[in-house]
Amino acid sequence: MKKTMSLLDASEFAQRQFRQTSSATLPNPLLDQRQRPLRDLRISVTDRCNFRCMYCMPKSAFGRDHAFLSHSEVLRFEEITRLAKLFARLGVRKIRLTGGEPLLRKNIERLIEMLATIDGIDLTLTTNASILAEKAPSLRDAGLQRITVSLDAIDDAMFRRMNDVDFPLARVLDGIDAAARVGLTPIKINAVVKRSINESAILPLVRHFKGSGHIVRFIEFMDVGATNGWRMDDVISAAEIVALINAEFPLEPVDPNYHGEVAERWRFKDGSGEIGVIASVTQAFCRDCTRMRLSANGQLFTCLFADHGYDIRALLRSDADDDTLLRAIAAAWQSRDDNYSERRTANTPRAQRIEMSYIGG
């Protein structure tokens, strides 16, 4: 974590939340400054990862001297579950576990069991699938409903280069098969596309998964964090990706599954499934962004590109009651005015930004 990151300390935070009098009077739906409701929560369960994807945790920045969070800094399962229940009371309907690599968190199945007891929550997880082949049955048994796998190439040599730890593609594919066998479906396969690095992987990925029932979604390379050397020239736009695929496999647009869905959906005209594109750079979707993020050490972020968080862990560990926590979360959401992607320029300064592996992608 960057030392320069300014977190609101607990007392400043507490003063803000006392603008509300009681959680009983909180508005429903809870809206931010741009009239967006709070609907999704992404929980980062660890800042560690066994991959060093160049667009996320490049070795140059996450080498041996990088200080990862210590055990006591990281939220315990009971703390995460308590917060998740409060988020559900504030309108959250979907929880995604992420990281870092969430499957590296010890006993992650136990956390899933605890979260699966919360009524009305769609529970899912995003993983690099490095240990999914072993874990898929226990994740399903614990109550996980679906899974998203990140996979940026379907060629072994290219995949090993992209994860930068020489991890073999075959084990990821085994993980996807295992997840499908136990019914963690529909499986989404997320591929970040970076110009000159893996643009040649787009069509092979489509060919490989077409007809499998899995949905490949191509993501524009984003300027998250301050270490991945992002340049606008490296972004391949969603429109380019769709045009490329359409030339080989004719596509037609599909309506979103729900209002505010981030992926634009396209189906193969031959009826063999669909793909998605996430145009986070070229067609910003801040207008419909209903997501809050909880980092592994209990900081709340209202935007992926935030330069500060709200220290909810300090309140949790100061024996605050549920009412106080509810008001604190509500205050953070109500003061939210983020729309970074709508304002991004090629020259926006990046020094203060928090890394995606920390904030939870």
Amino acid identity at 75 = L
Partner interacting with residue 338 (select from ligand SAM, ligand SF4, none; CB below 5-8 Å by kind): ligand SF4
357 binds ligand SF4 (CB under 6 A): yes
Opening angle at CA 79, ends 308 and 28, nearest 5: 70
Residues 219, 226, 312, 331: which binds ligand SAM (CB under 6 A)? 219
- Helix/strand/coil (H/E/C) assignment for every residue in 44-67: ECCCCCCCCCCCCCCCCCCCCCCC
Nearer to ligand SAM among residue 8 and residue 125 (C-beta): 125
Binding residues for ligand SAM restricted to 291-350, rule: CB under 6 A: none
Q: What is the DSSP string of 233-246?
A: GGBPPHHHHHHHHH
Query: Is residue 110 within a helix (H) or strand (E), and if so which, with residue range?
Result: helix 108-115
Q: Determine the Cα–Cα distance for residues 308 and 252; give it in Å rounded to an integer.
A: 41
Using CB under 6 A, which of the segments 1-9, 64-72, 265-273, 282-290 binds ligand SF4? 282-290
Binding mask 118-157 for ligand SAM (x = CB under 6 A): --------xxx---------------------x-------
339 binds ligand SF4 (CB under 6 A): yes
290 binds ligand SAM (CB under 6 A): no
Shortest distance (Å) from residue 219 CB to ligand SF4: 10
| Closest among 306, 281, 293 to 223, alpha carbons compared | 281
Binding mask 219-238 for ligand SF4 (x = CB under 6 A): --------------------
Name the residue number minimizing CB distance to ligand SAM: 361
In the block, tokens 């996430």 appear at 278
175 binds ligand SAM (CB under 6 A): no
Binding residues for ligand SF4 restricted to 35-64, rule: CB under 6 A: 49, 51-53, 56-57
Amino acid identity at 340 = Y
Shortest distance (Å) from residue 355 CB to ligand SAM: 9
Nearer to ligand SF4 among residue 103 and residue 123 (C-beta): 103
Nearer to ligand SF4 among residue 81 and residue 302 (C-beta): 302
Q: Long-range CB contacts (< 8 A, 24+ apart) of 302-305?
A: 302/32, 302/332, 302/333, 302/336, 302/338, 303/336, 303/338, 303/340, 304/222, 304/224, 304/340, 304/356, 304/359, 304/361, 305/223, 305/224, 305/338, 305/340, 305/341, 305/353
What are the residues whose beta carbons fall under 8 Å from the beta carbon of 11, sequence distance 6 or more? none
Residue 270 has which token pair? 């031959």
**Residues in touch with ligand SF4 (CB under 6 A):** 49, 51-53, 56-57, 99-101, 128, 150, 285-286, 289, 303-305, 338-341, 357
